[in-house]
Amino acid sequence: MISREELISLYSTYYKEIFNYIYHLTGSYETAEDILHETFIKIIEYSNNNTINFNTVKSFLYRTAHNLSINYLKKNKITESIDEDSNYLLVTNPVDEDVFTKEIKKEITNALQTLDTISCSIFIMKRDNNYTNEEIAKLLHISERTVRRKLQATLLHILSHLKNKGFDEIL
């Protein structure tokens, strides 16, 4: 069983990162908090019957958070639905963005909403958390080749969406 000190250490090390990941998937602060806590409950439950490998615990946390988030979205029939106010897929700097920049960011968010969850997850992990393709592959239990292909497809999808919305002159 995982000790209280080990759990506190894991939580303090990974809670922000895992919370941001869940929040990006669900678009809800409250839901992200609930799923984050459930993720750590799962690691406690897992440790009752298994030994925790602290070299791979980060992967366990991400995979658990991912699965719980997907289950939440399916249960609540939320398929890539995003509250526009949360703007969760874009890291924005609120300092003096012009209308044109805001419109492009909005359209990028709209383009990302139409993608599958894995593609969005990969894009978020790459852009917001600066993970390498290898790290993403390990965390999501997919191949690096799949990560590269999905990133490339996501970028092409975004470009195509922007062109269809009339932003082809800047591309």
Q: Give yes or no for residue 86 having a pLDDT over 80.
A: no
Q: Give yes or no for residue 88 having a pLDDT over 70.
A: no
**Residue 151 pLDDT grade (very low, low, confident, very high; cuts 50, 70, 90):** very high
Domains along the chain with CATH numbers:
4-75 (1.10.1740), 99-164 (1.10.10.10)
The rounded mean pLDDT for the chain is: 82
**Residue 42 pLDDT grade (very low, low, confident, very high; cuts 50, 70, 90):** very high
Q: Do the beta carbons of residue 91 and residue 127 sit within 8 Å?
A: yes
**DSSP summary character for residue 9:** H
**Residue 171 pLDDT grade (very low, low, confident, very high; cuts 50, 70, 90):** low
What does the H/E/C string look like for 30-86?
HHHHHHHHHHHHHHHHHHHHCCCCCCCHHHHHHHHHHHHHHHHHHHCCCCCCCCCCC
Selected residue with higher pLDDT from 10 and 103: 10
When mean pLDDT is compared across 48-62, 79-93, 107-121, 128-142, the lowest value belongs to 79-93
**Residue 170 pLDDT grade (very low, low, confident, very high; cuts 50, 70, 90):** low
| pTM (two decimals) | 0.57
Q: Residue 19: its pLDDT value, please?
A: 92
State mean pLDDT over 140-169.
Answer: 89
